[in-house]
A = this chain, B = another copy of it.
């Protein structure tokens, strides 16, 4: 995004503005941190979804991530091309592709998770660890219980 001279006081209070720019900064930090490992942010999301779980279909993975199934196709094409995930038809339901991390995928994921944690650390540098935890907690509540119902 273009250079930002700093907005007027009206926008400094604006949540859309703050969230958008915070998200953008975090995404840039993550992209830089992941570059050495040859993946991008959304691909890490896919790999995290696939990790430590039963194998799942593309559709299931897409729903978990909150992305469209057609978007998942392109993401998996890229990851499969890098040898990080494998697709093969489900024996029980041959419409489905079972998607799994490969060995290389698990290793890359391990390194990428460390890089991601470091990017988050940099992102959170200007606030105290306590504030950082409150920030994460508040976002979790807002994203996962937006109607105030308890989980």
Contact = CB atoms under 8 A, between A and B. Distances in A.
Interface of A: 1-8, 10-23, 25-27, 30, 41, 45, 48-49, 51-53, 62-69, 71, 116, 120, 123-127, 131-132, 134-136, 138-148
Q: How many identical chains are in the complex?
A: 2
Given A66-B3, A126-B142, A19 B23 contact: yes
B2 A16 contact: no
A11 B126 contact: no
20 contacts: A1-B68, A2-B67, A2-B68, A4-B65, A6-B144, A8-B49, A14-B45, A15-B123, A16-B30, A16-B45, A18-B136, A19-B26, A20-B23, A21-B143, A22-B23, A25-B142, A126-B146, A132-B138, A134-B134, A135-B135
